[in-house]
Amino acid sequence: MTNSANQSQKPLTTKINSLGNIEIGGCDLVELAEKYGTPLYVIDENTLRTICKDYKKAFEKYPKTNIMYASKALCTSAISAILSQEGLGFDTVSGGEIYTIYKAGADMNKVLFNGNNKSIDELNLAIDLGVGRISVDNFYELALLNTIAQSKNKTVDILLRITPGIECHTHQYIQTGHLDSKFGFDLTQIDEAVELILNEYTNLKLHGLHAHIGSQIFETSVYSDEIDILCSELARLDEKFGLKLDEINIGGGLGVKYTEEDVPPSTYEIGEVIVNALDKAIKKYNIEAPAIFLEPGRSIISMCGVTLYTIGSSKQVPKGKKYVSIDGGMADNPRPSLYQAKYLAQVANKKETDETEEITIGGRFCESGDILIENITLPKLDEGDILCVYNTGAYNYSMASNYNRVEKPAMVLVNNGESEVIVKRETLDDLIRCDVIPDRLKK
């Protein structure tokens, strides 16, 4: 089976240059750190475009496939523009993501709006900007969306999000397809929702069903199970209501290789599994071939990104660990604290040496739990060295905070030896831009 970029721990252009430094996208990481400062998010454009092409090629046997980038993984204007150029659509979960993609010039008809508690303002924005599909999550939203559509004298194209009752072996916080979930209609509630759409909510047009079974998935059989459930529901709804739905959205979730122990399937393997499962289900339930939507996010962007840090202080605990601190941590990468996530790191400016030590990389933030990597073996570090942490394209910048009132890092795009800022580093004035001191508190 052909390998794909999501199976790599590092960007595809990673190499050691003649100076002994790590280079990505033709750019020396030490020079990037000197030019732009640290912490610094770095995105390799070559890897990003390659994985987009991998996905499209993996599903070329099923022409009704729509790849919808899950924007929550990383949503910036430049990233959205690249993905749009590669022909991808977008799965969004907020008005902010919708607006970012709109301003990036993407085709809004290829955008899906998803989420379990969309606001009135967000639904208005989605309709006004021409979002192609809204995935409705619950009965409250059905009624609300129909009222808004009615007020605009518009018909809104929707999917119903359902919980298919499938559990994948992933972290409990990123399982979304099992029955005890905050997302979607239970299978027993689908008929009631359909009846409301057909008889009362006439400003809504139902096209199909949407399910999502989790994130960082390594087992392929869950996709076959999910497709079988969705197709069986299409057949059942046709038989009961004469309703010929022609779309299914199976979510995303394909895993990536954070550590050597992680062995994710390639996009080509997933493509074969999904296409075969579709062919089987179409024949089994005697339905027309539906359009299929996928929402890969992490497996498109994660391996494209690295984060650079500068080494600072260190502490040797007597008869215990040695802690080495960096100038970032849980505010620019909360995943180790949230999910016990593990990462590969290397020293960007160290030539190979036999002098190594086992250390724990600590962050700069005022929390004992601000530990980026525990018990990693690296060349002996000095203050000012540059640490490169791999596979940080997904859920790092997008989940970053200003904890301890620290500015968020910049992000640069690298390609063919050129680097360009795509997110500016925040300033101290940015931190207080939205603060207001009431007049009575002013001296």
- DSSP class of residue 394 equals S
Beta strands in 211-355, from DSSP E residues, in sequence order:
247-249, 291-294, 305-316, 322-326, 345-347
The confidence band for 166, taking pLDDT boundaries of 50, 70 and 90, is low
**Quick one: pLDDT at residue 1?**
61
Q: What mean pLDDT comes out for the span 429-435?
A: 97
Q: What mean pLDDT comes out for the span 5-13?
A: 94
Percentage helix, strand, coil, to 5, in the chain? 35, 25, 40
Q: What is the pLDDT of residues 38-57, one digit of tens each?
A: 999 999 999 999 999 999 99
Q: What is the pLDDT of residues 259-297, one digit of tens each?
A: 999 999 999 999 999 999 999 999 999 999 999 999 999
Closest C-alpha among 342, 248, 236, 332 to residue 290 = 248
Q: What is the mean pLDDT of the chain?
A: 93
Q: What is the pLDDT of residues 377-411, one digit of tens each?
A: 999 999 999 999 999 999 999 999 999 999 999 99
Backbone angles phi, psi at 37, to 5 degrees: 80, 170
- Domains identified in the chain and CATH numbers: 5-43+302-432 (2.40.37.10), 114-296 (3.20.20.10)
Per-residue three-class SS string for 186-247: EHHHHHHHHHHHHHCCCCEEEEEEECCCCCCECCCHHHHHHHHHHHHHHHHHHHHHCCCCCE
Q: What percent of the chain has pLDDT over 90?
A: 87
pLDDT at 144 over 60: yes
Annotate 119-188 with DSSP letters as a single string.
-HHHHHHHHHTT-SEEEE-SHHHHHHHHHHHHHTT--EEEEEEEE-----SS-GGG--SSSS-SSSEEGG
Question: Which residue is catalytic, options 27, 168, 366, 434?
Answer: 366
Q: Is 231 a catalytic residue?
A: no
**Quick one: pLDDT at residue 167?**
56
Going 375 to 378 to 382 to 384, the CA torsion angle's sign is negative
Backbone angles phi, psi at 430, to 5 degrees: -60, -35
Q: Is pLDDT larger for residue 179 or for residue 231?
A: 231
Weakest-pLDDT range from 78-82, 135-139, 222-226, 298-302: 222-226
The Cα diameter of the chain in Å comes to 77
pLDDT at 328 over 50: yes
**Quick one: pLDDT at residue 353?**
75
Q: Which two tokens stand for residue 312?
A: 């600072």
Q: What mean pLDDT comes out for the span 156-173?
A: 72
Find out whether 307 and 393 touch, Cβ atoms under 8 Å: no
**Quick one: pLDDT at residue 164?**
85
Q: What mean pLDDT comes out for the span 118-133?
A: 98
Q: What is the pLDDT of residues 29-38, one digit of tens each?
A: 999 999 999 9
**Quick one: pLDDT at residue 252?**
82
pTM equals: 0.94
Q: Which two tokens stand for residue 109?
A: 């008809």
- Residue 147 CA, chain-centre distance (Å), reads 31
Give the integer Cα–Cα distance in Å for 267 and 51. 9
pLDDT at 173 over 80: no
- DSSP class of residue 364 equals S
pLDDT at 177 over 50: no
Q: What percent of the chain has pLDDT over 70?
A: 96
